[in-house]
């Protein structure tokens, strides 16, 4: 009968064997991805030629000074105002109905197109023609929208 196994001896590699195994793995990886490695070296050479690697190195060496300067710039009043305004605009945009916004933008585009056509004709608008335009359903709709928009804006400004 066979003798039972009572202990397992783990094979210990020497430091030199580990290094040799890592080198073999690296050689295999390089040969498997030769084209990618060549592209990386080409990119690195280009970055080195234009001085970008040196600049990045200097930037990393001065990271604390750069962070201090960047933080100082970000906490300036104009920058904080921009950030606060962007956050306010983003908050307002989240409350708008996307369908209404799309319709409004399409209307603005149509209005700009009509205005450009009118500019090309150099036609004068008399008081009589202006009054007559009020009967046009499109003009009336836009005026109605504008008046009610101004009314809502005024209510909003009252708070």
pTM of the complete model beyond 0.75: no
Q: Quick check: 145 and 110 in contact, CB under 8 A?
A: no
Task: Look up residue 30 and give its two tokens.
Answer: 């390089």
Lowest mean pLDDT among 2-16, 36-50, 64-78, 87-101: 2-16
Whether pLDDT at 105 is above 70: yes
pLDDT in tens, 11-43: 888 899 999 999 999 999 999 999 999 999 999
pLDDT in tens, 125-134: 899 998 999 9
Rounded to an integer, what distance in angstroms lies between the CA atom of residue 72 and that of residue 74? 6
């Amino acid at each position: 009968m066979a003798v039972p196994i009572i202990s397992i001896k783990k094979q210990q590699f020497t430091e030199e064997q580990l290094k040799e195994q890592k080198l073999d793995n690296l050689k295999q990886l390089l040969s498997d991805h030769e084209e990618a490695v060549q592209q990386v070296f080409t990119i690195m050479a280009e970055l080195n030629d234009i001085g970008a690697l040196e600049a990045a190195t200097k930037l990393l060496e001065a990271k604390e000074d750069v962070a201090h300067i960047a933080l100082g710039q970000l906490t300036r009043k104009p920058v904080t105002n921009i950030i606060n305004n962007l956050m306010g605009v983003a908050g307002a945009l989240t409350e708008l109905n996307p369908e209404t916004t799309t319709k409004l933008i399409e209307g603005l585009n149509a209005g700009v197109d009509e205005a450009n056509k009118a500019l090309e004709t150099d036609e004068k608008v008399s008081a009589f023609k202006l009054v007559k335009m009020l009967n046009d359903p499109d003009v009336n709709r836009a005026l109605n929208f504008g008046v009610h928009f101004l009314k809502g804006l005024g209510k909003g400004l009252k708070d």
